[in-house]
């Protein structure tokens, strides 16, 4: 089976102005990064900037929305449907980010329904999972992420267009980062879960990326872990160091 292509996503969250967007995209467009056969790069600006970013961004990088509605559009004020994203030719969407699970009360089942619906409309999905500090300290990390993954696995049959993003909630924006060993342990556990509960082929081919205070200083050591297939980057994706994180893909290609 072909090696899993390294994947780097930049989640801009609820940040930016039109001017900021131009600056960030200019930095990305001028960056020298590994080729598309080594790394897949996707940036996720807020909804309102998606057309602007898509119009300005280099062609070897793609864009993602940060969320979408769980079914067909209609009388759902304030929501954005998967169909609209398809219409705008936005290929990717992030679903189930811990901020939405925590702040908007999105349950495992709702996230799974969103993933299934987005895939059914032709979108590719970055599906986020991860445990809180309390859950990690209680020793239930694998139970939590397995339950989150199981909810998705029960609703979909084709994993081709899914990237699984493991983001320990305690490491997001806190400056605390999972050690490479902690990240590898969970990624390995998730891959074993997929092997046993979905299929060996899906376990082997599905990219499991890490998110949680990834930056230019720690990305290479994380990228060297055998089951870390890339990153979902938060704050650092708004800075020039995002380019350094993309370059961490060479850690994988040189060892392949």
Confidence (pLDDT) at 173: 82
Q: What is the mean pLDDT of the chain?
A: 96
DSSP string, 137-149: HTT-HHHHHHHHH
Confidence (pLDDT) at 100: 97
pLDDT digit string, tens, across residues 156-189:
999 999 999 999 999 988 888 899 999 999 999 9
Q: In whole angstroms, what is the distance from residue 140 CA to residue 134 CA?
A: 9
Contact indicator for 199, 156 with CB cutoff of 8 Å:
no
pTM surpassing 0.95? Answer: yes
Contact indicator for 66, 44 with CB cutoff of 8 Å:
yes
Rg of the chain in Å (alpha carbons): 17
The residue annotated as part of the active site, out of 97, 99, 106, 131, is: 97
pLDDT digit string, tens, across residues 11-38:
999 999 999 999 999 999 999 999 999 9
Confidence (pLDDT) at 154: 98
The residue annotated as part of the active site, out of 40, 99, 106, 167, is: 167
Q: What is the pLDDT confidence band of residue 115, given thresholds at 50, 70 and 90?
A: very high
Q: What is the average pLDDT across 121-146?
A: 97
Could you tell me the residue ranges of all domains in the chain? 4-252
Q: What is the pLDDT confidence band of residue 255, given thresholds at 50, 70 and 90?
A: low
Please calculate the CA angle 94-99-102 and round it to the nearest 5 degrees.
125
Longest CA span, the chain: 51
Per CATH, the number for 4-252 is 3.20.20.70
Question: Residue 69 has which token pair?
Answer: 């509605």
Contact indicator for 188, 141 with CB cutoff of 8 Å:
no
In the chain, DSSP finds a helix count (H) and a strand count (E) of 12, 8
Contact indicator for 138, 185 with CB cutoff of 8 Å:
no
pLDDT digit string, tens, across residues 35-68:
999 999 999 999 999 999 999 999 999 999 999 9
Question: Residue 5 has which token pair?
Answer: 């292509």
CA distances from residue 86 to 35, 149, 165, 202, 214 in whole angstroms, order as listed: 26, 25, 22, 25, 29
Q: Tell me whether residue 195 is one of the annotated catalytic residues.
A: no
Q: Tell me whether residue 154 is one of the annotated catalytic residues.
A: no
């Amino acid at each position: 089976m072909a090696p899993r292509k390294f994947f780097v996503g930049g989640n801009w969250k609820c940040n930016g102005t039109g001017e900021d967007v131009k600056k960030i995209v200019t930095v990305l467009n001028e960056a020298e990064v590994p080729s598309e056969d080594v790394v897949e790069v996707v940036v996720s600006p807020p909804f309102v900037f998606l057309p602007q970013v898509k119009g300005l961004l280099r062609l070897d990088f793609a864009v993602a929305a940060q969320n979408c509605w769980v079914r067909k559009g209609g009388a759902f004020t304030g929501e954005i449907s998967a169909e609209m994203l398809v219409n705008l030719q936005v290929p990717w969407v992030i679903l189930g980010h811990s901020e939405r699970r925590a702040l908007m009360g999105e349950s495992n089942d709702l996230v799974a329904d969103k993933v299934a619906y987005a895939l059914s409309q032709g979108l590719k999905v970055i599906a986020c999972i991860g445990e809180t500090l309390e859950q990690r300290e209680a020793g239930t990390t694998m139970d939590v992420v397995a339950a989150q993954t199981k909810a998705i696995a029960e609703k979909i049959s084709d994993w081709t267009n899914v990237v699984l993003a493991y983001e320990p909630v305690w490491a997001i924006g806190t400056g605390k980062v999972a050690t490479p060993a902690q990240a590898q342990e969970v990624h390995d556990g998730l891959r074993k879960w997929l092997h046993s509960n979905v299929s060996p082929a899906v376990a082997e081919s599905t990219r499991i990326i890490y998110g949680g205070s990834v930056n230019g200083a720690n990305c290479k050591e994380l990228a060297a872990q055998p089951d870390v297939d890339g990153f979902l980057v938060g704050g650092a994706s708004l800075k020039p160091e995002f380019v350094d994180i993309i370059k961490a893909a060479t850690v994988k290609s040189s060892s392949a």
